[in-house]
Structure 1
Amino acid sequence: MRYRLKTAFCIAASFGFLLAASGEASRFVSRVSDGELKTDTVSDKKVAEDAPANENSIIDEVVWVVGDEAILKSDVEAMRIQGEMEGMKWNGDPDCIIPEQLAVQKLFLHQAALDSIEVTESDVSQSVDQQINYWISNAGSREKLEEWKKMTVKQMKESLRDDFRNHQLIEKMKSNLVKDIKVSPADVRRYFEKMPQDSLPLIPTEVEVEIITQAPRIAPEEINRIKNELRDYTERVTKGETSFAALARLYSEDPGTARQGGEFDDYVGRGMLDPAFASVAFNLTDPKKISKIVESEYGYHIIQLIDKRGDKIKVRHILRVPRVSPEALEKAENRLDSIADDIRANKFTFEAAASYLSDDKDTKNNNGLMANQSEDGFTSKFRMRDLPTEIARVVDTLKVGEISKSFRMVNSKGKTVCVIAKLVNRIDAHRATITEDFQAMKAIVQSKRRADFLKDWIQKKIKTTYIRINDKYKNCNFEYEGWVK
C-alpha cells in the first residue's frame, strides 16, 4: 500500500492514543523526528523536549524515503510476514532485502507518475476478484475465508485495492521501459552456441490437445421450476412482503454475492459482466423495479438496479442454477462415446465433429484445438501443469492420435460438462535445440536482455532520485549501489 509521509502522520495521529504505552491519561502524536512517529504524554509533569523517546512510544517508523514516497517499518514487517506465510526463503538478511525491494517498487511508481502511466479501475477490480476467488477456493467457502482472515470479503477487497493498483502500475511501467528490446535469430544463436550441452535449458513436456464437450441437457420441467421460483421472488418483492436483499441471502446460488444480499461489491462496467446479463442490467432505470428473468452462462437471474455512475452500474441479483440429473450426465457421456467410436471408424474426423457438435465456445471455431496465451500471442502447446486438471489427467494416459473415453469436468463457468479429448502431439521433456525450440530459447534470451536493461535502469534511477535511509540500514549489503547518499 502506498503511503506518503503526510498520510502516515495522519494515521498515527488518529490512532496514537490506542498504540502508545499504557499508564497515562491521554497521548498525542507530536512530531516526526529522525524518521520516527512519536507520541508525547499529556500529564502534570513537564517532559523535557530533548528527552529520548521510549521504545514503546514509537507508533511507526519511516525507514526509507524514495522520492516523495515513505516506506514504513510496518510495511517491511507486513512483507516479511507475507513471505513467511508463503514459505519464502530470503537470500540474505530480510531486514535489508525487504526494504530494498520496496524501495525498487517505489522507483517504478515514481517513474510511472512522471510518465502519467495509468491503469483502469476495471482491471484492478478484476485482479482483486481473481485473488479473492482463489482464496475462497483454497479456504473451501466464502464463510471460511472470512473466518480465517477475520474480515469480510468487502474489507479484503478494499485492503487489496491499492496494492493491486500499484502492482499493475509497476508492471505496466516495466513493460513500457522494455517494449523496444528485441532479439534476432543471430542473437539467440550467439547466446547458446558456447553453452555446454548439460547447461542448455530443459524444456518440459508439451502437448497439443483437441476436445469436444457436451453440456448435459436440462429437462424443461427443471427450467420451468427455476423460472417459477424467480417469478415468485419478484412478486413477493413487488407486493412489499419482503426485500430483494433478504431473498438473495436465502436463495441466491452465487456464493460471491449471496451473503451481501445479492449486491456486487463495486460498480462494474459492461465488459466485466456476462453479455446477456449486462444487456438487461444496463437497461434498468428504476431501482424499485426488478428485471425480467435473464439466462446467462451461469444460470437464471433476476436483477435490481442500485445505482449508475457514468458507464458503470451497481446492482444486486439472485442466481438460480437448474439441477442436472444423473440421467442427463450419463446420456451426454454416452453420446460422446458414440461420437468417439464413429471417429475411430473413420466416419468423420475429430476436427469436423468439434466444429459441428462441440458445446465449447473457446475451441469450437478452432476445430477443437485448445489454445494457450503466451508472450508472443496464442499457442496450441501446453505444459501439462497448464491444462485443466481433469484434461491433464486423461491426456497423460493417451498416445498421440488416441481419443479418450468420455469424462466429466467443471468448466470455467462452474458447470459440469462431459468431454472427450484427443492427443494431437506430445513433445517429451528435452534439452533445448535451436531447430525445435527456437521460440522458447528466444524467450529466454529476450527475458535476460530485459532483466539486464531494468537492472541498469534501476541503478541509474537511484542516482537521480531523492533517497533518505534510516541510519540502521546504512551498513546493509544491498544488491544495488547508491542508496546511501
Structure 2
Amino acid sequence: MKLFLKNTLLTVLAVIGFVNVHAQESTKKRIDGIVGVVGNYVVLDSDIDNAFIQAKATGYDTSKYTRCEILGTLLENRLFSHQAIQDSIVILDEEINSRMDSQIDRMVEQAGSVDNVVKYYNKKSYEEFREYFFDIMKENELASRMQEKLIKEVSITPEEIRQFYNKIPKDSLPIVGDELELAEIVMKPLITKEERQAVIDKLNEIRQDVLDGSSFAGKVYMYSEDKASLQTGGFYNVDKKTQFVKEFKDVAFSLKEGEISKPFETEYGYHIIQLEKIVGKNLELRHIVMSPKPSQEALDKAKKDLDDLRIRILNKEITFSDAARQYSQQKDTKQSGGILTDRTGETRFELNKMEDRVLYSMISNLKVGEISATTLVNDASNKQQYQIVQVTNKIPQHAADFSNDYMKIRGVALKSKQNEVIGKWISETVDDTYIYINEDYQKCTFKSNWLKN
C-alpha cells in the first residue's frame, strides 16, 4: 500500500513503475539525460515524460501537474528504494516474477498481444523486456516495503481523530457519496470426503517435494490460494497475538525450526506450514493453503436451495433477516441477520467507492428492500459460494459527520498521520543521502528539501 503516493496521478505513477519508455514528442526524439540521483538510483528526463504519457493514457488530467511535482514524486520513490537496500529489506526473485507475470498478463490484455507490449516498450525481444521490467518492479516493491515499514506502528487515538475533524473548516468537509446498508444470505456447495482427500494428498506431495530439496516459496506461487501472502512467497511473521485462527497458530507454535507440518484444516482450507526461524517470541514462517473444489452437481444444488429461499422471502413467507439467521452458511453474518460490514467494521458502503465489483454489480440498481439475483461469488479464501444481497437502507450524499461517518474520518485521519511520519522521515533521510538535481530543475519548489538549501 503506497500511502504517500495514494491520490490521483501519484497512484498512477506508483502502479506504472515510473516506466522508462523512449517516447517521442511530435517529430523529434528527446535526448535522454539524468535529471536526478538518489543514492544509487537515477531519475531520467524520459521518466518524467513517460509518467505524463502513462497518466494521460489512464484518464488523468495531467495539466494539473508540473514536471517539478512529478520529479519530486520520482525522487521520493528512489529514496524509499535506496533506503530499503540499506535496511536489508529482501525481496525474493520468485516473488517479483510472480507479480510481474500478473502485470504482463494485464498489459497483453490491453495491448492485444505480447509483441505489442514489447514494441511499446521499445525492446528487441520478450526476454529483454522481462529483464527490464523486472528491475522496475523490484525497485517499486522495495519502495513499497520501506513505506510499510515506516507506518507499521502508526496508530491513532479517538481524541486525535476528533481534533483532526474539528480542524476541518465546516465548508470544506469532505462529501460522502450515496451509501447503502446491506444484508446477505450465503449457500455453500457441499464438499465430499473424496474431494477433501484429494487436497490433502496434493499437500503431502508438495511437502515431500520440499523435503527432497524443492523451494517452499516456489510451491507457494504454484499452488497457494492465499492471495494476501502470495507476493511474499507465503511468508508471515507471527506471534501469539497475531489475528490468525487458533488451529493455524497451534500448529505453527508446535513446530521446530526448519520443520514442515503435515496438512491440517482451518475454515480457510487445508494448510502446510514451514517454520523458517524462531526470533524471540516471533515465528518466521511460510504457508500454503488449498481448498477442495466442489462438483458442478453440488454447485447446482446450492443455487437451487438459495433460489427457493429467495422466492420464499419475496412471497413474504419469511423475512430476509430471519432467513439469514436460519439458513445462511456465512457464520460471520448469520447471527446478525446477514448484516454486511467492510474490513473496518463499517456497515455503510459508499456506492461509488466499492472495491468489490461483483457486489457492486449485484446491488447498484436496487432500491431499499429489493433483493439481488442469486449470484456465484468467491469468498475471501477464493471458495465458490452463492449469495443474495438485500439493500436494507440508503443514505443520500452528505457532508461527512463525525458521529455517523466516524470510521471514514478515522481512515482519513490515520492516513494523514502516516503521511506526516513518512514526510518527516524523508526530510531526515535526505540530509544523510547523496542527492543530485540537474541544473534545469534547480529552480523547482519541492515539497521535500531535495536541493538541500
> Structure 1: where are the runs of 5+ without partners?
2-54, 65-69, 113-118
**Could you tell me whether the CA contact under 8 Å between 1:400 and 1:423 is conserved in 2?**
yes
The answer as to 2:269 corresponding to 1:299 is: yes
Q: Aligned residue for 1:191?
A: 170
How far apart are 1:296 and its partner, in Å? 3.4
Q: What is residue 283 of structure 1 aligned with on the other side?
A: 254
1:223 paired residue number: 196
Amino acid aligned to 1:97:
E
Shift of 1:303: 4.3
Does 1:328 pair with 2:298?
Answer: yes
1:90 CA displacement = 6.0
Change (3 A) 1:355 1:138: farther
Which amino acid is the alignment partner of residue 346 of structure 2? F
Seen in structure 2, the aligned counterparts of structure 1 residues 302 and 408 have a Cα distance that, compared at 3 Å, is same
Aligned to 2:25: none
Q: TM-score normalized by structure 1?
A: 0.57
1:279 maps to amino acid: D
Matched letter for residue 443 of structure 2: C
SS of alignment partner, residue 170 of structure 2: helix
Aligned partner letter, 2:252: A
Confirm or deny that 1:269 pairs with 2:238: yes
Kept after mapping to 1: 8 A contact 2:77/2:143: no
> Is the Cα contact below 8 Å between 1:401 and 1:424 reproduced in 2?
yes
Task: Pick from 301, 304, 311 the counterpart of residue 341 of structure 1.
Answer: 311
Question: Deviation of residue 368 (structure 1)?
Answer: 1.4
Q: Which residue of 1 aligns with 2:348?
A: 380
The residue number in structure 2 matching 1:164 is: 144
Q: What one-letter code is carried by the residue in structure 2 that aligns with 1:205?
A: D
TM-score, structure 2 length as denominator? 0.60
Asked if 2 retains the 8 angstrom alpha-carbon contact of 1:294 and 1:302, the reply is yes
- Counterpart of 2:69, as a letter, is I
One-letter amino acid of the counterpart of residue 223, structure 1: R
Hey, what does 2:111 align to over in structure 1?
A: none
CA contact (8 A) 2:185 2:388 kept: yes
CA distance in 2, matches of 1:281, 1:156: 35
Please give the alpha-carbon distance, in whole angstroms, between the structure 1 residues aligned to 2:400 and 2:145: 39
Is the alpha carbon distance of 1:391 and 1:147 closer, same or farther for their aligned partners in structure 2, counting shifts above 3 Å?
Answer: farther
Higher relative contact order (CA 8 A, sep 6+): 2
Q: Deviations over 1:71-114 (max 9, x none)?
A: 954377657655644446264541x22344467789999xx9xx
Letter paired with 2:238: G
Partners of 1:247 and 1:191 in 2: CA distance: 51
Q: Could you tell which deviates more after superposition, 160-169 or 335-344?
A: 160-169
Larger Rg: 1
Compute the displacement of 1:154 (Å). 10
Distance in 2, Cα, partners of 1:301 & 1:101: 41
Match of 1:98 in 2: 70
How far does residue 301 in structure 1 lie from its aligned partner after superposition? 3.6
The number of residue pairs the alignment matches comes to 383
Q: Which residue of 2 aligns with 1:406?
A: 374
CA distance in 2, matches of 1:166, 1:352: 48
Partner of 1:209: 182
Cα shift at 1:417: 0.8
Aligned pairs for 1:63-142 within 5 A: 73-74=42-43, 81=50, 84-87=53-56, 89=62, 91=64, 93-94=66-67, 96-101=68-73, 139-140=104-105
Taking a change above 3 Å as real, the CA distance of residues 320 and 251 of structure 1, as seen in their structure-2 partners, is farther
1:350 corresponds to 2:338: no
The sequence identity of aligned pairs, in percent, is 21
Cα displacement string for residues 133-184 of structure 1 (whole angstroms, at most 9, x for unaligned residues): 876655449x999979726999888644541244346667998899847459
Q: Which amino acid aligns with 1:281?
A: A
Aligned partner of 1:357: which letter?
A: Y
* Structure 1 counterpart of 2:191, one-letter code: I
Give the whole-Å Cα distance in 1 for the aligned partners of 2:174 and 2:158: 23
More displaced stretch, 352-361 vs 211-220: 352-361
5+ residue gaps, structure 2, are: 3-30, 109-113, 118-125
Q: Deviations over 1:241-288 (max 9, x none)?
A: x6565998599632789xx9xx9364632548665344323322274x
Residue 363 of structure 1, aligned match among 325, 333, 348: 333
Q: For 2:443, which of 468, 476, 482 is the aligned residue?
A: 476
* Shift in Å, 1:327: 1.1
